[in-house]
Amino acid sequence: MSRSGRLLSLLQLLRGRRTPVTAAALARDLAISERTVYRDIATLIGEGAPIVGEAGLGYVLRPGMFLPPLMLEIEEVEAILLGLKYVNQRGDDVLRRAVVTTRAKISSMLPASVQIAAFDEPLAMPGPVGEQAEGPVPVSVIRRAIRSQEKLEIAYADAKNDHSARIIWPIAVGFMESARIVGAWCELRQDFRTFRIDRIVSAVECGRYTERRATLLKRMHTALLGS
């Protein structure tokens, strides 16, 4: 068991007890030494866990809110930020202020490389969200290209099912009423365009674009959204 997994298991054991539990009992349940239990208890207390007690007498987790340090994948961060963006658009003033502080807390926990990927692009564009149409190219392919700033050579079918070949610089994934879209710079049109992801027939990476995504994002907002 990893150390982080062991700490979480220890917390779960304490949450399930209303009376103090000794280090010996915890060590037996976790198949570790008492010394390790003492060390892990000290670590959790240092991280802010409301654990009270002492060696020999036992420990108890007091009521209260405590979230241990989280290990988040980039997709999990994106999911959280998408939810925060929705709250920021639809919530009241209190919730909007909470969005600002929550984003700041998440940002402080992320390494610089992940912060750039997570915060340098919007995860939603204005519009209601409903059942999303699926296409032959997974959204994960588009997201990966956005994070790595890779151009995509795509085959695209428009609303009339007319096909065209494009090279795009994907910038942001958006969620509209019945479809996901990707906002991108289109080399063919030499302008910003949005493409329904379910109408992208194929997509192949074809080299990096060098202009910073944050800069492209601001320009795209001005061009497409007027902001």
Could you read off the pLDDT of 119-171 as tens digits, one per residue? 554 444 444 455 566 789 998 899 889 988 999 999 999 989 999 999 999 99
pLDDT the model gives residue 157: 94
Using alpha carbons, select from 83, 68, 74 the residue that is nearest to residue 123. Answer: 83
Question: pLDDT-derived band of residue 226, with 50, 70 and 90 as boundaries?
Answer: low
Q: What is the pTM of this model?
A: 0.58
Neighbour count for residue 206 (Cβ, 10 Å): 14
Of all residues in the chain, the percent with pLDDT exceeding 90 is 36
The two three-digit tokens of residue 111, written as one number: 């390494």
User: Do residues 74 and 147 touch, judged by C-beta distance below 8 A?
Assistant: yes
The residues, ordered by sequence, that sit 6+ positions from 14 with a Cβ below 8 Å of its Cβ are: 21, 26, 51, 59, 60, 61
pLDDT the model gives residue 47: 80
Rounded Cα gap, residues 152 and 209, in angstroms: 10
pLDDT the model gives residue 185: 95
Could you read off the pLDDT of 65-103 as tens digits, one per residue? 555 555 666 777 777 877 787 787 777 788 888 888 887
Rounded Cα gap, residues 186 and 73, in angstroms: 30
pLDDT the model gives residue 126: 46
pLDDT the model gives residue 186: 96
Instruction: Taking residues 24-33, report their average pLDDT.
Output: 93
Most confident of 28-37, 44-53, 123-132: 28-37
Rounded Cα gap, residues 104 and 109, in angstroms: 9
